[in-house]
């Protein structure tokens, strides 16, 4: 309909010319494609081919070797600490056994030979510090997973490829078996580091205790190590403390494996119990739960909730009592003494003090030069010179 008007003489009728231009614009806009934004879950990292498996195989193998050494170191020290805790408690258990025999002969009830609080704390500290130490060494090289369930979570969020996940899991299980076998050879007595359910803990309770403690551990990995921030370099510290806290809670009820490889390695040496499946199902559920929480927080853009929480600027600190408000452009040289300054404020004060000393030194030097010039005799110059 608009093309009929374009064939006529548009100069004779200006109104018709305007109508034709507007109609042409309308036709152009109607033919332009409309942009539609669709939010979809990115699962491209889960699709792979043989070419993907062959790509970067060298780097994957080097990273897997680091995971093997890291898992071996972590479990050698951690499980060795558990064995040491049991050995140190052997004398008290022996006394308890003799008391049990004498009490039974007298018709009394047997005493409770459950591990003491000191022994449980020793185990928790041993595992937490072992992970902290090992993770800090291999953190930059491999990511320091040392746990098939952590590796599975990293696969789900797209941090590692399926090929690297496969070699990581093999390396982690191999490291756990090697560490357990070496402890069996090195240490006296039978190896007693295999996790098992407590006397009053049923299988369902064990599964969910392992799930929740593993979820907490994986969340610490995702938010402290995977998410980048000013304290990322301290991620091994937070992860080790999380494992320590998980042991304080779960070691009595499940042994606090929180790691399928940690349960599988000693079981290869000492034998598999009837409740070994708990340490496969529980941590796997925990991995899914942690990834779900992490994905939801990312989907809702959690970093917008507290924008400057991670800043190290002293000017963002709150006012304290009658303290004057600290602005970003405040002259620190005129405001060096403050009431109860925070660490960030102390840094700013030191920087301001250092920057304010330079002009003072220059002023003192200029004053000294002026004093010398005033005491120096004036020599005649020009026509007054004899």
Residue 40, phi then psi, degrees to nearest 5: -130, 155
Structure token pair of residue 48: 């792979």
* pLDDT tens for each residue of 263-273: 999 999 999 99
If you average pLDDT over residues 79-91, what whole number do you get? 83
Give the residue extent of every domain in the chain: 53-88+113-304, 311-358
What pTM did the predictor assign?
0.67
* pLDDT of the residue at 132: 96
Neighbour-count burial of 31, counting CB atoms closer than 10 A to its CB (0-12 exposed, 13-18 middle, 19+ buried)? exposed
Residue 57: partners with Cβ closer than 8 Å, 6 or more residues away: 163
Q: With cut-offs at 50, 70 and 90, classify the pLDDT of residue 312.
A: confident
149: region left, alpha or beta (phi > 0 left; psi from -120 to 50 alpha): alpha
Structure token pair of residue 266: 């000693």
Q: With cut-offs at 50, 70 and 90, classify the pLDDT of residue 84.
A: very high
C-alpha distance across the termini of the chain, in Å = 107
Structure token pair of residue 135: 């993770």
Residue 342 to residue 31: CA distance in whole angstroms: 61
* pLDDT of the residue at 33: 57
pLDDT score of 348 more than 50: yes
136/335: higher pLDDT: 136
What value does the CA radius of gyration of the chain take, rounded to a whole number of Å?
A: 35
If you average pLDDT over residues 6-14, what whole number do you get? 49
Taking Cα atoms as reference points, which of 263, 350, 286 lies closest to residue 314? 350
* pLDDT tens for each residue of 104-141: 444 433 333 457 888 999 999 999 999 999 999 998 88
Q: With cut-offs at 50, 70 and 90, classify the pLDDT of residue 38.
A: low
Q: With cut-offs at 50, 70 and 90, classify the pLDDT of residue 88.
A: confident
CA 358 to chain CA mean position, Å:
42
* pLDDT of the residue at 8: 46
* pLDDT of the residue at 311: 78
Average pLDDT, the chain: 78
Structure token pair of residue 249: 């809670």
Neighbour-count burial of 181, counting CB atoms closer than 10 A to its CB (0-12 exposed, 13-18 middle, 19+ buried)? middle
53 in Cβ contact with 102 (< 8 Å):
no
* pLDDT of the residue at 91: 53
* pLDDT of the residue at 165: 96
* pLDDT of the residue at 309: 82
* Protein fold of 53-88+113-304: Glycerol uptake facilitator protein (1.20.1080)
Residue 186 to residue 205: CA distance in whole angstroms: 34
If you average pLDDT over residues 56-63, what whole number do you get? 89
Residue labelled with tokens 């005033």? 374
Q: With cut-offs at 50, 70 and 90, classify the pLDDT of residue 386.
A: very low
364/60: higher pLDDT: 60
Taking Cα atoms as reference points, which of 125, 340, 131 lies closest to residue 248? 125
Say which DSSP state 225 is in. I
Residue 112 to residue 109: CA distance in whole angstroms: 9
Q: With cut-offs at 50, 70 and 90, classify the pLDDT of residue 56.
A: confident
pLDDT score of 355 more than 50: no
The per-residue b/e assignment along 304-323, b for 16 or more CB within 10 angstroms, e otherwise, is eeeeeeeeeebeebeeeeee
User: How many CA atoms, within 13 angstroms, populate the side-chain half-sphere of residue 188?
Assistant: 3
* pLDDT of the residue at 7: 46
Say which DSSP state 376 is in. S
If you average pLDDT over residues 3-24, what whole number do you get? 50
3-state secondary structure of 47: coil
* pLDDT of the residue at 351: 58
* pLDDT of the residue at 195: 95
């Amino acid at each position: 309909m608009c093309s009929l008007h374009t064939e006529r003489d548009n100069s004779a009728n200006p109104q018709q010319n305007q109508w034709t231009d507007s109609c042409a614009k309308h036709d152009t806009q109607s033919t332009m494609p409309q942009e539609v934004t669709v939010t979809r879950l990115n699962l491209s990292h889960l699709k792979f081919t043989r070419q993907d498996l062959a790509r970067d195989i060298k780097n994957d193998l080097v990273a897997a070797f680091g995971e093997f050494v890291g898992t071996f170191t972590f479990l050698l020290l951690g499980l060795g600490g558990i064995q040491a805790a049991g050995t140190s408690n052997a004398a008290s258990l022996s006394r308890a056994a003799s008391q049990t025999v004498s009490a039974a002969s007298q018709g009394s009830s047997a005493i409770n030979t459950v591990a003491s609080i000191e022994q449980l704390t020793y185990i928790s500290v041993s595992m937490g510090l072992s992970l902290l130490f090992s993770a800090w060494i291999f953190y930059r090289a491999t990511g320091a997973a040392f746990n098939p369930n952590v590796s599975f979570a990293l696969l789900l969020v797209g941090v590692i490829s399926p090929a690297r996940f496969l070699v990581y899991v093999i390396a982690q299980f191999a490291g756990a078996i090697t560490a357990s076998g070496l402890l069996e050879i090195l240490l006296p007595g039978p190896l007693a580091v295999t996790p098992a359910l407590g006397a009053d803990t049923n299988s369902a309770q064990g599964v969910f205790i392992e799930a929740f403690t593993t979820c907490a551990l994986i969340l610490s990995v995702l938010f402290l190590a995977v998410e980048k921030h000013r304290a990322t370099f301290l991620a091994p510290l937070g992860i080790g403390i999380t494992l320590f806290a998980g042991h304080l809670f779960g070691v009595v009820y499940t042994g606090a494996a929180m790691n399928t490889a940690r349960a599988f390695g000693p079981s290869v040496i000492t034998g598999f119990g009837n409740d070994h499946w708990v340490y496969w199902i529980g941590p796997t559920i925990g991995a899914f739960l942690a990834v779900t929480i992490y994905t939801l927080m990312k989907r809702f853009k959690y970093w917008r909730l507290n924008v400057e929480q991670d800043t190290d600027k002293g000017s963002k600190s709150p006012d304290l009592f009658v303290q004057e408000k600290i602005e970003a452009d405040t002259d620190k040289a005129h405001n060096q003494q403050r009431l109860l300054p925070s660490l960030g404020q102390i840094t700013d004060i030191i920087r301001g003090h250092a920057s304010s000393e330079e002009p003072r030194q220059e002023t003192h030097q200029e004053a000294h030069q002026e004093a010398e010039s005033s005491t120096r005799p004036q020599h005649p110059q020009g026509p007054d010179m004899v």
